[in-house]
A and B are shown apart, each in its own frame.
Chain A
Amino acid sequence: MRIELLEKIEGEAFLKFQKDKKIITDVKVIFPHYRGIEEILRGRNPWDALVINPRICGICGHAHLQATAMVLESIFQITITQKAQKIREITRFCEIIQNHIKWFYLVIFHELGILYDFTKVHHLIITINKLLALFSGQWPHSSYCVIGGVTCDPTSFEIYQAKTLIRQIKDQFIQLIGELHDPLNLTNDLQKLYHTLQEKELLLVGKSHDRFITFSQDSHVSNIKLLHGQKRKTKLTLIEENEQKRSYAKNVTYNGKYYETGPLARLMQQTDPFIRYFHRRFKDSITTRIIARIYEVSLLIEKIIDHLATIDLSQPSVVESKMQDGTAIISIEAARGSLIHQATIHQGKIETYNIITPTQWNLSNGTSQNPSVIQKAIIGTSDEKIANLIFRSFDICSVCTTH
């Protein structure tokens, strides 16, 4: 039994390996932190959740903020305007993009020892946050998203500024990663990554169940699970969350099975030839998983450009809301996959609030008959360094998981 400590995952985690003649036969993931956000929420005014929940995570807090607004809108039976919807998507996509780029370089390139231009990466990330803050006020932890819509009321001047910024972002991204049209002709840093994986013979490591799940619906994804290549609509009611011994992170399954969520799951439900090519060659290995995450950036940049071109500024930013009691469960796509918020409001106060984070899907601890996504991906590896890389290919968020 060996314990390997991992950091740089927005918090810490431990991997406990069991080995038999050098081969890893079992692995358990332990998150040694806890803050008790769900306990803190109990008994408060529902509006307070909008301020508290973003603080669950410093890198995907925006998704938590929007999930909170959505779950409360669902309980209060409010439909927000298309304009508010688009603004929320623009900012959330920005958050996802900057997360992916930061992870690609600070985690994966560091891990593989590939050199890169830190200053260029840094400026790209800053420009993305600037675009985000144009609508949200600041990043991380903004408060512009409220029940019924958003508080910002952009004029055509801000939209023009945003268009300029997204153009800069697109140019800087292409300079770093290259044009992503032809999977057989990778360039720039993506080519560097591919060659490094090839040289180190890592192209095929980290395969898991090849089962994918997404619960949200927005302009980028639908609520679809993929099992043996079959697409099915997902229902939030079939999710099961179970406590684990010795860790504050809970296990989570869908209809008794573990599924992978995240960029790869999101892209696998589309018929995108770029990602399909890598999936055909390498299945759900780290190669496909890493490339999916960085490729998603290029798709989201186009989505933002499209939203900025089609936003109708004459619509209201906020619609009126009236508090009422009830229960709802919703899902929204965060950087690392489907994020689920569930709430019950009773007599105008939060009675229960439950949060299931993407990392819980990917990093549950199953049994040897029914291993989780991460266990399946790691078991059978002989090298702990590679196991560590596989672990990081999921882009782990410990602070989210131990909310």
Chain B
Amino acid sequence: MNREHLRSLFTTKSARVETNRGEAYYARLYEQCKARLEELKKIEPLRKISIKEILEDEGVSRRDFLKWASATTAMLMLPSSFTPLVAEAAELMTRVPVIWIELQDCAGNSEAFIRSDGPKVDDIILEIISLEFQETLMAAAGHQAEAQLEDAMEHFKGKYLLFVEGAIPVGPGREWCTIGASGETFEEHLKRVAKDAAAIVAVGTCATFGGVPAAAPNPTGAVGVMDIVNDKPIINIPACPANPANMVGVILHYVLTGQIPELDSLLRPKFAFGYRIHDNCERRAHFDAGEFVEEWGDEGAKNNFCLYKMGCKGPMTFNNCSIVRYNESVNWPIGSGHGCIGCSEPGFWDKYAYERPMADANIKMAPGGGVEKSVDEFGLGLLTAAGVGIAIHAAASAIAGKKSEGEE
């Protein structure tokens, strides 16, 4: 396995998303979005808040807001001519109701959501989003909250976006996981609330693929939303936690087009999951140069070398962390010197989430497999080969490195 081979392995066409759909397509989409926004303007806003006023109060200039809109347009993989429409969509976000329910979760996505990162404008947008029901954020609790959920479902029948956080246990012991005073199981609850949703957004790896509760031996038989609901459009935003920028992106896209964004085979929006961490990693140059961290805290670590040999799963993880980053873009896991753990991939607890390169993986399997075969086999096959290749690549580049030093 020489360097050329390795390069081709990680830069194959299949790993890229062709984002340009051609002029005719965008012209049509533009008109469609405009019509959609006109329609929304006719609707009475759900909350009497205007983003313009909030922005003024917050000291965010119109120019900053448009900058944000243009960054978001790029994130959504739309041509820059859509920027004014995205700005307008943000102003109309109060007209799309969002209901958010929590199932078998740790509340990590709620926590991430209410600390939305990205530009400051995102935070403000979260304040004016029409969040009709969100346990952590709303004033009501207990029976009052249940009544509020009923009201929102009734009032916005067929119109609301349903955000689901947490997995759904369907195995033995599922009766341990109930919600509300009625003792409804998570599965019953999800089906009931999903029935009248316009679309469902599964946030976080638990709601998408079962996440940590589904890790072997999956004691509660946890599954994701798409394993339960099959008659609704579903958008998966995996990762642990999901990046709030992607949550806001999906809502905006929906406001803008009235449709869900383009998805991959795992129902993930391509604008966020269309490329790998590895493709846009700030340490990619070190990978190409064959410079790796070999031990925690070694010279390589001090010089921000590539973390692949320390078990980084960047090459087989699709997500936009390397571009969007976290917590107001201040940092991201690789920035703090730890490899990607692959938290947005299906079954990652059993396949990826450990501190060793794939080649040395000794994986605990759930009875009956428990992880998606295709992705799994592809990933493992690819990685074991790559693991071997990387070692050769690393050795070869070390020699090459010495040579060039000698020449100087």
Contact = CB atoms under 8 A, between A and B. Distances in A.
> Do A and B assemble together?
yes
Interface of A: 3-8, 10-12, 14, 32-37, 39-40, 43-45, 47-48, 50-52, 55-59, 61, 106, 110, 118-119, 122-123, 125-126, 129-130, 132-144, 146, 148-153, 248, 316-320, 388, 399
Contact of B296 (A4, A12, A148): A148
Contacts of A50: 355
Given A35-B213, A47-B355, A142 B336 contact: yes
A45 B354 contact: yes
A52 B353 contact: yes
A135 B136 contact: no
A202 B259 CA distance: 51
Given A35-B104, A129-B327, A152-B337, A320 B295 contact: yes
Given A40-B217, A51-B353, A134-B330, A5 B143 contact: yes
A57 B177 contact: no
Given A59-B107, A106-B137, A34 B327 contact: no
Contact of A144 (B57, B145, B336): B336
Nearest to A151: B337
B330 A48 contact: no
B356 A47 contact: yes
A32 B178 contact: yes
Contact of B107 (A32, A58, A110, A153): A58
Interface in B211-239: 211-213, 215-220, 222
A143 B313 CA distance: 13
A146 B219 contact: no
Interface string B91-126: 000000000001011111111101101000001100
B331 A58 contact: no
Contacts of B302: 153
B297 A317 contact: yes
B359 interface: no
**Pairs of residues from A and B, 6 with the lowest C-beta to C-beta distance, nearest first:** A58-B108, A36-B219, A318-B297, A137-B336, A151-B337, A138-B326
Given A40-B212, A45-B362, A118 B326 contact: no
A39 B219 contact: yes
B136 A8 contact: yes
A250 B320 CA distance: 40
A32 B301 contact: no
A40 B215 contact: yes
B301 A153 contact: yes
A52 B349 contact: yes
A118 B58 CA distance: 12
Contacts, number: 211
Name the prevailing secondary structure of the B interface residues: loop
Contact of A47 (B106, B146, B181, B354): B354
Nearest to B110: A58
A148 B107 CA distance: 29
Given A58-B108, A61-B108, A126 B123 contact: yes
Contacts of B108: 55, 57-59, 61, 140-141
Given A32-B179, A32-B183, 10 more contacts: A5-B180, A33-B104, A40-B217, A56-B106, A135-B336, A140-B111, A142-B338, A144-B338, A248-B176, A316-B297
Nearest to A246: B176
A316 B298 CA distance: 9
A390 B387 CA distance: 56
A47 B364 CA distance: 13
Contacts of B124: 119
B240 interface: yes
User: Which of A7, A11, A118 has the most B CB atoms < 10 Å from its CB?
Assistant: A7
B127 interface: yes
B173 interface: yes
A6 B141 contact: yes
A357 to B, nearest CB: 12
Contact of A51 (B115, B326, B354): B354
20 contacts: A7-B135, A12-B180, A33-B176, A44-B364, A45-B362, A47-B356, A48-B355, A52-B212, A52-B353, A55-B212, A57-B108, A130-B327, A133-B330, A137-B338, A140-B112, A142-B333, A143-B338, A148-B297, A317-B297, A318-B296
Contact of B123 (A7, A123, A317): A123
A255 B328 CA distance: 46
A44 B355 CA distance: 12
User: Which of B111, B145, B219, B336 has the most A CB atoms < 10 Å from its CB?
Assistant: B336
Contacts of B334: 137
B341 interface: yes
Contacts of B215: 40, 52
Contact of B220 (A35, A51, A143): A35
User: Which of B107, B212, B301 has the most A CB atoms < 10 Å from its CB?
Assistant: B107
B10 interface: no
B176 A149 contact: no
A315 B107 CA distance: 36
B273 to A, nearest CB: 17
Nearest to A113: B139
Nearest to B185: A32
A138 B241 CA distance: 10
B158 interface: no
B142 interface: yes
Contacts of B335: 137
A122 B212 contact: no
Given A3-B181, A126-B123, A316-B297, A144 B337 contact: yes
Contact of B177 (A32, A59, A133, A148): A32
B65 interface: no
User: Which of A40, A149, A388 has the most B CB atoms < 10 Å from its CB?
Assistant: A40
Given A7-B141, A47-B355, A151-B301, A143 B107 contact: no
A57 B108 CA distance: 7
A115 B319 CA distance: 39
A53 B173 CA distance: 21
A143 B241 CA distance: 12
B106 A57 contact: yes
A58 B341 contact: no
A317 B332 CA distance: 18
Contacts of A136: 331, 336
B142 A7 contact: yes
A162 B379 CA distance: 39
A51 B349 CA distance: 8
A146 B338 contact: yes
A318 B338 CA distance: 12
User: Which of B141, B218, B335 has the most A CB atoms < 10 Å from its CB?
Assistant: B141
Contacts of B179: 12, 32
B214 to A, nearest CB: 9
Contact of A39 (B58, B107, B217): B217
B338 A106 contact: no
A5 B181 contact: yes
A12 B178 CA distance: 9
Contact of A4 (B142, B220, B297): B142
A143 B183 CA distance: 36
A30 to B, nearest CB: 10
Interface in B62-92: none
